[in-house]
Structure 1
């Protein structure tokens, strides 16, 4: 005997609450067919589809129900949330804008708006939306969580940690804020506290995938690669479609170990919809797996697919990048010397810069092997302050620049006489930096742009500044601008910059490390030419490579994907790159 409508609805909700989503879809579809005029069953069917990951199928059903019940808040919220989850952010935001004036309480709409901006790496807008949600409902732990994640995106780690602490206070049984807090603490290089936070998250839920992923990433940063590998494998046992675990595991494992992963990875790629963002990391993983086993022609289409998916969502801003170079040249003309009234206090910063993936991490690890130097990783402050000036929101004062920069440093930066800031993008801001810190050593790492492009093509970068890395012509545009910056700085302050070529560093690490030590005023020691023995944590994409020790294996590696890199090479300006063979 068929169940009564109320019993059918209760059965579907029970299945949803038990996370039996395929069964919920089957039951809801049957109930909708049996009750075609009851909008509630169409709504339940859409909910079941959305929970089962069938977002595109759910959206038209939610839309249909909303036309029937235009004032139902649950229907409105479910449609908006599903649009966001499906990556249809324009449609979601249009609906939010339409509904905001009609809502008496708006915090839930602002919360989902913040989530939408967060998913698009629009961190400032996400923070603004979360703040509006919290102004109306300070007890909204989800809004605190969204705000914290977005604060990580703008490198305000202490504020992010505070946001996650508040989210945890409001909902102490939810492991998510603790897991996210671990990420913020890790970015702030407070690794022991980060470990404690993620361990607490896993005590609440040992199967929490995000927390397990954070735990694995932390072990990797701390050089515990065996522990990291074990955790990545555990994640994939729990969820064979956890894309980022594949991507990071492939880089950490040996070629033989990766062969055992091939089948499950291939299955995951075939099962996930082609346009799903999960395909980014799945294809990146397969591309790198094949690349590592020297199947370069087979690797190429996977790497291209991964990068194309990201490029569509995160396009490079060609005009903004070009404008920044033009404004910088105007601010620091060649006929005007830099001011010298900046900060000369200790600890003294050492700036290591160059194109991303040019060898800045390797250089940092060499320098920070000295007992006089502490590693601070990639510090964002110089770029953040300079961008406020370049965009006309602040005026440039060298002393104020230095003060603000120092205020943003991690507390341990003052433990030694020197600290290293190895943010590659600081090549754009050398004029600001040397005005603010006239005695600061600047080490510029040069590398064949084709090898740099290959390395970037094989990685995934979360920073919006790195959007150019997912498109060949955008990478060439950025490389050309980089040369434009460096030619300008060399003409203006060339005697204050130590230029080192990556090929020379890996070919003769002793000579290179001696040059670095002499230039920075450090006492050289043998450990400086063995960065793999440096116990400093590595928080960049170079985490696995730097633990391998110094080698020359990647020199000229671009030829392995020469056909794929052709658009990049052809877009390089020969006047800026005259020495390429």
Structure 2
């Protein structure tokens, strides 16, 4: 080599040393100048490109950082760490396939480099390749046992594999090595939340925020904890705190969309969900959230496409997305496609509680069914399984054993599932009864007389009210089969209209004519577009029975249909269902019976004061015995001409979002009448609360 070449090499070496020195001293401009001098003399010099990539990354320019690292890794003798760092940056960008390639190249070049195994493990984790991720991360902690970050990542993968016992152990090992690790506190909070340990989870999430007030995941995990407790205002406050410093954080946008959808602010939820997809089009969770929100809007085809996109993208929501798509197909009456979708999803996720329970609830079991053993094995692994998963499988087994007429095993699982579900929230049955009594007292007959006709003038709304599982879905399906009626399902619009006015029923005494008219107009603004140009819109939210008096004031033209069913049959059906909504009264037999009694007393009050031309009661048993007679009575109540399609309600292809989705796709059957007598030995507490002798 010539002296000139040696001097040039020495010069480049010195320039790189000075670049690193300036960067380490926080002097970014000088560091960049030296890197550019190196590249001017030696285009493509890997070390300078690598340092420029790290600098770009630290300043938030991820695209530029990746461009520099890609070029650096093309050098023949580029060290393994360059490919490892590239893998991490590509992961952050969501380019998981290329990230995996870079990560595998790095560990092949230097199998003793723990950070390379760690980075590859995270990439594989986000790609949903959890078993491969576990192998990589176990290699990382074997090479560097005192590395808290690697233990935390291994815990994350263990959680995704369903090894919750190992996950908690690994998180605690990470905290033992670094008690100030905010991310580990946050992740352990999420794990404990899934196990129903909300108090511990909240403390850990808040500790994570104290340690790092800008750790986005800590806010998201705290919001999850509050969501599990049904503290929805707190959920939104936590997410507002996150948005204050990270308004474009994809996870924050996704969480906000979910929270808004849950509290009925679906239009706002759709805006946030679309924004999340626009910002991160390769983000599976964003597409999954968009699918959920679209589903609530009734955009079935677009929702199915979004579920499909979420299932195909790399990430951790494929299982949920496949379940959501199968369930939506079922709700749309496309049962064969739905069952095929469940089977296809279980080929990918054979150990999924979500899918196993979903498929179990969608079909009828027969003796010797292979799924019994699969489901039983699942709930036997208590230490490994998250509590919500075990709850759903216990309910699925209860339903399955009822299918094969084995009530002993059925109620063993139903009782366990109900107890576990009930342990996860606070509910005061006595306070509920007192509240319903106050509702009745707030609506004396003279109030309705004084404000008669003052509300918004529209006869479009038809409210179907009653207890859950009392036949509300059947009535809606009969009515919505008429050519002039749209069934909108269980709308939360009225509840949100009421809650916006303050504490109910306390504000009722202050209502005047303008206030009740404004309340009615608010409801109509939220729901009129859903009628799709038809004369009537059916709002089948059973719990609207508490607002029946308010409906009569605010919407004097509205019709109210009260669905009734035998008390014991109604409550038994509630007890055997895991509801998706907040039916907090349903998971304890005594509380369930007490709630029914409170409901019956409130309905007796409405029966006495509501105008007869706007209020009708339909007994489920009467519909079963005389479908045509009761269907004609309902159609007459709406003042419509008869439509034979009302007798073929089971052919109606509209989307049905309810626990009764399977029943309304079948003709009337009588087996559910008096069903409670077969199971009286298992529902003694319920019967006692209802005042029924076994």
Q: TM-score of the superposition, structure 2-length normalised?
A: 0.76
Equivalent residues of 2:462, 2:560 under 8 A apart:
yes
**2:450 is equivalent to residue 369 of structure 1:** no
- 1:248, CA displacement in angstroms? 2.7
Q: State the match for 1:89 in structure 2.
A: 198
- 1:543, CA displacement in angstroms? 0.9
Q: State the match for 1:475 in structure 2.
A: 592
Matches within 5 A, 1:19-34: 19=125, 21=130
* 2:561 corresponds to which of 443, 450, 457: 443
**2:462 is equivalent to residue 350 of structure 1:** yes
Q: State the match for 1:11 in structure 2.
A: 117
Q: State the match for 1:486 in structure 2.
A: 603
Distance in 1 (CA, whole Å) between partners of 2:161 and 2:356 is 22
Distance 1:107 1:368, change over 3 A: same
Moved more, 338-347 or 514-523: 338-347
- 1:501, CA displacement in angstroms? 1.0
Q: State the match for 1:180 in structure 2.
A: 289
SS in 2 for 1:498: strand
Q: State the match for 1:219 in structure 2.
A: 329
Distance in 2 (CA, whole Å) between partners of 1:47 and 1:372 is 53
Distance in 2 (CA, whole Å) between partners of 1:45 and 1:245 is 25
Q: Between the two structures, name the one with larger relative contact order (CA 8 Å, sep ≥ 6).
A: 1
* 2:227 corresponds to which of 115, 118, 136: 118
Q: Deviations over 1:263-295 (max 9, x none)?
A: 333333334537632111212222111111222
Q: Deviations over 1:334-367 (max 9, x none)?
A: 4543422344644521111111110011111111
Distance 1:517 1:40, change over 3 A: closer
Q: State the match for 2:342 in structure 1.
A: 232
Distance 1:352 1:297, change over 3 A: same
Q: Deviations over 1:139-180 (max 9, x none)?
A: 211111111111121121111111111111121101222222
Q: State the match for 1:577 in structure 2.
A: none
* 1:201 corresponds to which of 310, 319, 327: 310
Equivalent residues of 1:269, 1:279 under 8 A apart:
yes
Task: Give unmatched runs, 5+ long, in structure 2.
Answer: 1-109
Q: State the match for 1:286 in structure 2.
A: 397
Q: Deviations over 1:362-392 (max 9, x none)?
A: 1111112222211111111222333434175
Equivalent residues of 1:353, 1:445 under 8 A apart:
yes
Instruction: Compute the RMSD of aligned alpha carbons.
Output: 3.0
Distance in 2 (CA, whole Å) between partners of 1:80 and 1:183 is 25
Q: Deviations over 1:213-241 (max 9, x none)?
A: 11111111110000001111112221122
Equivalent residues of 2:141, 2:147 under 8 A apart:
yes
- 1:562, CA displacement in angstroms? 1.6
Matches within 5 A, 1:254-403: 254-256=364-366, 259-271=369-381, 273=383, 276-338=387-449, 339-343=451-455, 345-346=457-458, 348-387=460-499, 388-390=502-504, 396=511, 397-403=515-521
Distance in 2 (CA, whole Å) between partners of 1:154 and 1:324 is 21
* 1:253 corresponds to which of 360, 363, 373: 363
Q: State the match for 2:163 in structure 1.
A: 54
Distance 1:463 1:279, change over 3 A: same
Distance in 1 (CA, whole Å) between partners of 2:414 and 2:599 is 24
Distance in 1 (CA, whole Å) between partners of 2:312 and 2:252 is 24
SS in 2 for 1:415: coil
Distance 1:100 1:260, change over 3 A: closer
Distance in 2 (CA, whole Å) between partners of 1:205 and 1:91 is 32
Q: State the match for 2:689 in structure 1.
A: 571
**Structure with bigger gyration radius:** 2
Distance in 2 (CA, whole Å) between partners of 1:113 and 1:519 is 49
Distance 1:435 1:49, change over 3 A: same
Distance in 2 (CA, whole Å) between partners of 1:430 and 1:459 is 26
Task: Give unmatched runs, 5+ long, in structure 1.
Answer: 575-579
Distance 1:430 1:43, change over 3 A: closer
* 1:77 corresponds to which of 180, 183, 186: 186
SS in 2 for 1:439: coil
Distance in 2 (CA, whole Å) between partners of 1:44 and 1:187 is 35
SS in 1 for 2:687: helix
Distance in 2 (CA, whole Å) between partners of 1:47 and 1:515 is 58
